[in-house]
Amino acid sequence: MTATTDGSTGALPPRAASASDTTRITTPEAAGAPQAAERAMRRATDFLLSRQDAQGWWKGDLETNVTMDAEDLLLRQFLGILDEATVGAAALFIRGEQREDGAWPTFYGGPGDLSATVEAYVALRLAGDAPDAPHMARASAWVRERGGIAAARVFTRIWLALFGWWKWEDLPELPPELLYFPKWFPLSIYNFGCWARQTIVPLTVVSAKRPVRPAPFPLDELHTDPADPNPPRPPAPLASWDGVFQRLDKVVRGYRSVAVRRLRRAALNSAARWIIERQENDGCWGGIQPPAVYSVIALYLLGYDLEHPVMRAGLESLDRYAVWREDGARMIEACQSPVWDTCLATIALADAGLPADHPQLVKAADWMLGEQVVRPGDWSVRRPELPPGGWAFEFHNDNYPDMDDTAEVVLALRRVRHHDPERVENAIARGVRWNLGMQSRNGAWGAFDVDNTSPFPNRLPFCDFGEVIDPPSADVTAHVVEMLAVEGYAHDPRTRRGIEWLLAEQEPEGSWFGRWGVNYLYGTGSVVPALTAAGLPTDHPAIRRAVTWLERVQNDDGGWGEDLRSYQDPGRWSGRGASTASQTGWALLALLAAGERGSRAVERGVEWLARTQREDGSWDEPYFTGTGFPWDFSINYHLYRQVFPLTALGRYVHGEPFANQAVKPRPAHQPATPAAEAGTG
């Protein structure tokens, strides 16, 4: 095997690779796949039941990368509230994530990332680590070899500019007047994905104010030439979009010097109002950490002191993203996923044979019913007449419910025999109506918004931190189609348009791209069950191509895995990687839905799950199989390794859920045609 310039392995992984070789059970069940599946399913069921919160929800840790931890420390340094216990615990975690070559990756086993390494290094300097310490010297040398701070992403340099380690003049301009662009304008804030929108609005305040706190130390060791730390970047060709937007940025910079003060003050006040209106009841913003961090900074710059109720609630919400580990280390979650984890856990347990009226399933349903969003959010800018009714991903996020959670919650509720069936039916009806109303023009569904497909936001100079728009994706569309089929909408014109879109999106070799999970295994594991639930026969050419692809990429050990590098190099990495429990579960879900229960591929996958299960019924999975932004921001959902294997084992043992009613008649509570659906115009 050869090493690439970033120190990562350049060759493909061995076919027999697996997630863990130390804690798994090494003796396979001698009696064969069915008996092995039964035993593994029972133990996994017991394990998952033991992890439910008393209120009814499940939540696994959501692990990302050390930029969350570094930026948390930088925020506290900026506000003057950094304490010794916090910095020590965060530094312990950050040091533990460093690679041998001195860099920090953005996912387990991945290559070093320049921006993550710069931010981690600065955080450790704040913790008192000396620049000549061996681990620090390796990190700074690695950074210099790759262009230094000047080559880092814009967001990293914004953090450094807060302390004078970078010049504000050498950053793209982001005027607060952006809020006044009408919603139809290509660069309206509503043409950004909700996660980007929530970040950009407070950053317009930061960009306008350009604050600088005294730097506690210099960072000369992170520049290729300390005498010229801010070298100009070469201009892009004028004929390219990048060139156009670079020159547009120069125009905006010129506007800064002539901006009408009255208009600028009004824009800043509008930004403050926009931010405060979107603060959730628990103090967070959108249930995710980055917008909360930038919102706190923006309001602080606008004169909100740390004892103001909005600021107190915001800072308290940031503390809830901290996960304290047994060794004393402190990891910051970028987000928390209780609704998503709870609906997936409910589906897994029900499909594994837990009685539909089991008290823990009923408790989970009660909690999910209480989480339905019943007020309009930013999505209503494009669907003003559509009544609310979706579910969000997090504990508190009434502004941004999403199609994915809504579809899966409906599928979960449909599996539970609740003591108040009328309440359940009403909630499901609202959720179905909302999902139908959020269909995009092309027949598919995005995650949070309708027709969020403008090509311009991604071209802006400051948008180099990952995906900033929310176009429809195969995995989200598949979950909605599956839900609609179960709810009796398999033959509805809207569902059929979604199916046609999915069929057109299939890759030539038979897989589907996974936007919110890694990657082609996730897309395929989502789409095939949706298509068969909607009535496509298992001998349909698209289904057979998917089966052939899954059989071809199965690892020699019987499992499936896919590395995040498939987002950058699908030709080499599509469906290739060390076997993991979650990705093996996805592959099995697709094969079982395609009628392959008795195939050798399925039996080998089931045997792999049984063989690698721990004694307590869990699985080990250090690999990142969740996706925030393809390649740029990756996630290890710690509950994925439990819910997807259990769902697959349950369907292997008990058969497909709703097998006898997948194309049932339309329920009376829903309209029959798109024209009858409020807000779908």
Model pLDDT for residues 619-629, shown as the tens digit of each residue: 999 999 999 99
Average pLDDT of span 113-132 = 97
Average pLDDT of span 45-68 = 97
- Classify residue 186 by burial, with Cβ atoms within 10 Å: 0-12, 13-18, 19+: exposed
Return the residue matching tokens 């600021």.
311
Average pLDDT of span 582-586 = 98
Which pLDDT score is estimated for 665?
A: 46
Q: Is 228 or 124 the better-scoring residue by pLDDT? A: 124
Out of 404, 475, 492, 620, which one is annotated catalytic? 404
- Classify residue 130 by burial, with Cβ atoms within 10 Å: 0-12, 13-18, 19+: exposed
Least reliable range by pLDDT among 46-55, 246-255, 384-393 = 246-255
Q: What is the pLDDT of residues 259-275, one digit of tens each?
A: 778 899 999 999 999 99
Comma-separated ranges of CATH 1.50.10.20 domains in the chain:
25-36+509-661, 55-60+337-453+469-505, 63-230+246-332
Question: What pTM was estimated for this model as a whole?
Answer: 0.91
Which pLDDT score is estimated for 672?
A: 43
Which pLDDT score is estimated for 662?
A: 40
Position 24 pLDDT exceeds 90: no
Fold of 55-60+337-453+469-505: Glycosyltransferase (1.50.10)
Which pLDDT score is estimated for 96?
A: 96
Position 26 pLDDT exceeds 50: no
Fold of 63-230+246-332: Glycosyltransferase (1.50.10)
Which pLDDT score is estimated for 466?
A: 72
Q: What is the pLDDT of residues 82-93, one digit of tens each?
A: 999 999 999 999
What CA–CA distance (Å, rounded) separates 60 from 282? 20
Which pLDDT score is estimated for 667?
A: 55
- Kindly indicate the confidence band of residue 31, based on its pLDDT and cuts at 50, 70 and 90: low
Going across the sheet that includes 633-637, the strands are: 62-63, 633-637, 626-629
Position 681 pLDDT exceeds 60: no
- Kindly indicate the confidence band of residue 343, based on its pLDDT and cuts at 50, 70 and 90: very high
- Kindly indicate the confidence band of residue 677, based on its pLDDT and cuts at 50, 70 and 90: very low
- Classify residue 281 by burial, with Cβ atoms within 10 Å: 0-12, 13-18, 19+: exposed
Which pLDDT score is estimated for 223?
A: 95
Nearest alpha-carbon partner for 391 in 373, 375, 408:
373
Half-sphere exposure of 619 (CA within 13 A, CB side): 33
With beta carbons less than 8 A apart as the criterion, state whether 523 and 513 touch: yes
Q: What is the pLDDT of residues 536-582, one digit of tens each?
A: 999 999 999 999 999 999 999 999 999 999 999 999 999 999 999 99
Q: What is the pLDDT of residues 218-236, one digit of tens each?
A: 999 999 988 887 777 667 6
According to DSSP, the residues that pair with 637 across neighbouring strands are 62
For the question of residue 378 being annotated catalytic, the response is: no
Which pLDDT score is estimated for 300?
A: 97
Which pLDDT score is estimated for 308?
A: 97
Half-sphere exposure of 305 (CA within 13 A, CB side): 1
What CA–CA distance (Å, rounded) separates 484 from 535? 12
With beta carbons less than 8 A apart as the criterion, state whether 149 and 166 touch: yes
What CA–CA distance (Å, rounded) separates 132 from 138? 9
Q: What is the pLDDT of residues 629-641, one digit of tens each?
A: 999 999 999 999 9
Computed over every residue of the chain, the mean pLDDT equals 90
Q: Is 24 or 577 the better-scoring residue by pLDDT? A: 577
Q: Candidates 1.50.10.20, 2.30.110.10, 3.40.50.1100, 1.10.1030.10; correct CATH number of 25-36+509-661?
A: 1.50.10.20
Position 254 pLDDT exceeds 90: no
Nearest alpha-carbon partner for 519 in 475, 488, 484, 464:
475
Phi-psi region of 398 (alpha: psi -120 to 50; beta: other; left: phi over 0): alpha
What CA–CA distance (Å, rounded) separates 459 from 241? 7
Least reliable range by pLDDT among 279-283, 505-509, 514-518, 667-671 = 667-671
With beta carbons less than 8 A apart as the criterion, state whether 458 and 402 touch: no
- Kindly indicate the confidence band of residue 670, based on its pLDDT and cuts at 50, 70 and 90: low
Average pLDDT of span 276-292 = 92
Average pLDDT of span 235-239 = 66
Which pLDDT score is estimated for 32?
A: 84
With beta carbons less than 8 A apart as the criterion, state whether 243 and 259 touch: no
Greatest CA separation found in the chain?
Answer: 79
Return the residue matching tokens 């019924």.
617
Q: Is 271 or 17 the better-scoring residue by pLDDT? A: 271
- Kindly indicate the confidence band of residue 29, based on its pLDDT and cuts at 50, 70 and 90: very low
Q: What is the pLDDT of residues 456-498, one digit of tens each?
A: 887 777 777 778 899 999 999 999 999 999 999 999 999 999 9
